[in-house]
Amino acid sequence: MQRNMQWNRAYRPFFLTIVLALFATTVALAASAPAKQPKPAVKYKVVVDVSQTGDAFPRAIGSVRNILKSLGPQNVEVEVVAHAGGINLLVATANSFTAELTALSKEGVRFAACENSMRANHLTRADLLPFAVPVDSGVAELVRRQQQGYAYLFIPD
């Protein structure tokens, strides 16, 4: 037993040095590891239902502007679905909202045009504003977006 105690005393500084070196190496590696990336900002998703004419068009534009301003365009995905009487929002000819809609599309707002409403109004893709994206059915697009977690916003006349 006397011999074991002498051996322990002789090698104790050596073991202590190794333990401290391992600890220092671990700390250094942890400090040099790349920092974890923060989670991306929460994205809000909104689908806007425009199916009426009249005051619905300026209300829809104003609502989308307010959403972008309040939530920040980098934090929100907005899709405007134009169907029924609302399809006229996306018709290029004599559209007094073209400049505002173009600006919104440049901010990332997607404009969907119902193909059923286009057929009912004898409209083709060429009749629409260039950034409008035809979808098979406006109401089906609204359902799909809600299923994907989009908040639903109806714009009345």
Q: Give per-residue pLDDT as tens, 82-91.
A: 999 999 999 9
What is the predicted pLDDT for the residue at 5?
A: 56
Taking CA atoms, 108 is separated from 68, 111, 118, in Å, by 10, 10, 23
Q: Give per-residue pLDDT as tens, 13-52.
A: 665 566 555 556 665 655 665 656 665 556 999 999 999 9
55 and 45 Cβ atoms separated by less than 8 Å: no
DSSP assignment letter at 123:
-
Give the homologous superfamily in CATH for domain 44-154: DsrEFH-like (3.40.1260.10)
Dihedral angle, C-alpha 47, 49, 53, 54, nearest 10 °: -60
Quick one: what percent of the chain has pLDDT higher than 90? 69
Residue 81: which pLDDT band, with cuts at 50, 70 and 90?
A: very high
Q: Which secondary structure element, helix H or strand E, spans residue 156, and what is its range?
A: none
39 and 142 Cβ atoms separated by less than 8 Å: no
The mean pLDDT value of the chain amounts to 86
46 and 102 Cβ atoms separated by less than 8 Å: no
What is the predicted pLDDT for the residue at 37?
A: 60
Q: How many Cα atoms sit within 13 Å of 30 on the Cβ side?
A: 6
Please report, in angstroms and rounded to a whole number, the separation of the first and last CA atoms in the chain. 96
CA 145 from centroid of its chain's CA atoms: 12
pTM metric for this prediction: 0.74
